[in-house]
Structure 1
Amino acid sequence: MQNVINALRVLEEVADRQPVGVGELARGLGLPKSTVQRSLKTLHEAGWIRPAGGEVTRWQVTSKALQVARRTELGLRDAAVPVMEELRQRTGETIHLMVPEGDAVVLIERLETDKPLRIVLPLGTRLPLHASANGKAVLAHLDRPLGDLPGYTDTTITDPRALRAELDAVLARGYADNRGEWRSDIAAVAAAVLAPGPVASLSVSTPASRMTEELRAEYGKLVAGAARTLAELLN
């Protein structure tokens, strides 16, 4: 059983860090290199990973892993859309469903507001974990070091200590917010969907000019409730 658990941990780490070598994987996972090498050999033989750029010293996931992820994604969408629709009706704003992928969250579904002033993000848009409501909602539930934090706007949190304090606040109140940290014209509140780890996040997204402090708190409570509802459907 431990060999299976090690292989799954290695696969997850490859997906997060690809392309990645044995030494980096061993350090990140706290496992001996020999254990990591055995897991890599097993995953390679099973078709889950392949050498990156033909180099046997660095690895990346194959389309097999991506196909499984897509099938999982479709199930997530099916469960999420009714929850998203209710959230849209209660807020009148655009609702986003995003999934974590490495150091980002990726938009996989959206329900748009009927209001004429809106901000439309294409499906597949990647948002940084540290500079978006969806990203911070997920990051607050991940045990990982806060490394390089690039700035995107004047309000992006680039100090790891300040970000850690912000993530503690996210856990305390149950939702994250974005005050123009990725794009200055976008505001949002988001909550992680825990099943049991953060498999996705839901957000209410608006033009920054429309997000008052009162609405931020109201939408935050609504999105946190919607995320709990979706988590119950998935668990």
Structure 2
Amino acid sequence: MRNVLNTLRVLEEVAARQPIGVGELSRMLGMPKSTVQRALLTLDEAGWIRPAEGEVKRWALTTKALAIGGRASGDLGLRDAARPIMEDLRRRTEETIHLTVPEEDKVVLIERLETSKPLRISMSLGHALPLHASANGKAVLAHSGADVLQRVIADELPRYTENTITDPDQMHAELERIRERGFAVNRGEWRTDVGSVAAAVVGPEKPIASLSVNIPVSRLTPESEALFGQAVSEAARTLAARLGYA
């Protein structure tokens, strides 16, 4: 049983940080490298992960994880409803558009439409993002129930970059700003080069998804934040209405 749990922990960490190598996984999980290596070889043989490109061996998810996730959560219907709205959002912003869904204490990328611009944000389907350090995650967190907020923001939050909000009081204030203006902004809080603006797709009781405009942080300005925020908020409301939510 311990080996199975270790393998699943390695799979979750690969999903959250891909591409990632044995050494980094060992440090993040507090496991011996030999244990991590055995888990990676098992996941590779089962078709869940694959070696990423590059001279140093690093690992990334395969599409098998996305396919299983889609069947488990019914995300395929959501993706079908969202795609034309995402197409319109990409046309309006000329940037990469992401659709994510909440899953436990993270959000998972289930659909993306890429910009034609040469400098872009590239992220594989099935990638998991932290709730407190991504625009999609913060948009979802801002509209989540008190039980979720208490669980996620109970203690000091994990730091990914120098811009990550780690103080619980600061995070609560950030979530209040998101609720007031209707969208969340990530200014290099998860990765220093990644900027994004996102809005939650809110169901009758909780957020069911989030849409985001994703750009290199160098293109994220106060002007673009406002424009993208308005566009993605309208798109999120349109998707909620299309799914039958007021």
TM-score (norm 1): 0.70
1:218 aligns with 2:220: no
Question: Contact 2:110–2:125 (CA<8 Å) still a contact in 1?
Answer: yes
1:169 aligns with 2:174: no
**In 2, distance between residues paired with 1:89 and 1:123?**
21
Deviation at 1:119, TM superposition (A): 1.5
Cross-structure match for 2:4: none
RMSD: 1.4
Deviation at 1:211, TM superposition (A): 1.2
**In 1, distance between residues paired with 2:84 and 2:70?**
24
**In 2, distance between residues paired with 1:216 and 1:93?**
12
Q: 1:66 to 1:222 in 2, by over 3 A?
A: closer
1:36-85 superposed Cα distances (whole Å, 9 cap, x missing partner) = xxxxxxxxxxxxxxxxxxxxxxxxxxxxx967634x20000000000000
**In 1, distance between residues paired with 2:178 and 2:193?**
22
Q: Which amino acid aligns with 1:69?
A: A
The match for 2:90 among 83, 88, 91 is: 88
**In 1, distance between residues paired with 2:194 and 2:229?**
15
Question: Contact 2:70–2:76 (CA<8 Å) still a contact in 1?
Answer: no
**In 1, distance between residues paired with 2:220 and 2:173?**
23
Q: 1:227 to 1:129 in 2, by over 3 A?
A: same
Question: Contact 2:164–2:189 (CA<8 Å) still a contact in 1?
Answer: yes
Q: Which amino acid aligns with 1:123?
A: L
Q: Where does structure 1 lack aligned partners over 5 or more consecutive residues? A: 1-64
The match for 1:78 among 77, 80, 83 is: 80
Equivalent pairs counted in the alignment come to 170
Q: Which amino acid aligns with 1:81?
A: R
Q: Which amino acid aligns with 1:182?
A: W
**In 1, distance between residues paired with 2:221 and 2:69?**
39
Which runs of at least 4 in structure 1 moved beyond 2 Å after TM superposition?
65-70
2:234 match: secondary structure: helix
Q: Where does structure 2 lack aligned partners over 5 or more consecutive residues? A: 1-67
TM-score (norm 2): 0.67
Cross-structure match for 1:203: 212
Cross-structure match for 1:121: 123
Report matched runs for 1:1-235 at 5 Å: 69-70=72-73, 72-142=74-144, 143=146, 144-145=149-150, 146-148=153-155, 149-196=157-204, 197-235=206-244
Q: Which amino acid aligns with 1:223?
A: V
Q: 1:221 to 1:152 in 2, by over 3 A?
A: same
**In 1, distance between residues paired with 2:140 and 2:241?**
17
**Which has the higher Rg, Structure 1 or Structure 2?**
1
Q: 1:104 to 1:214 in 2, by over 3 A?
A: same
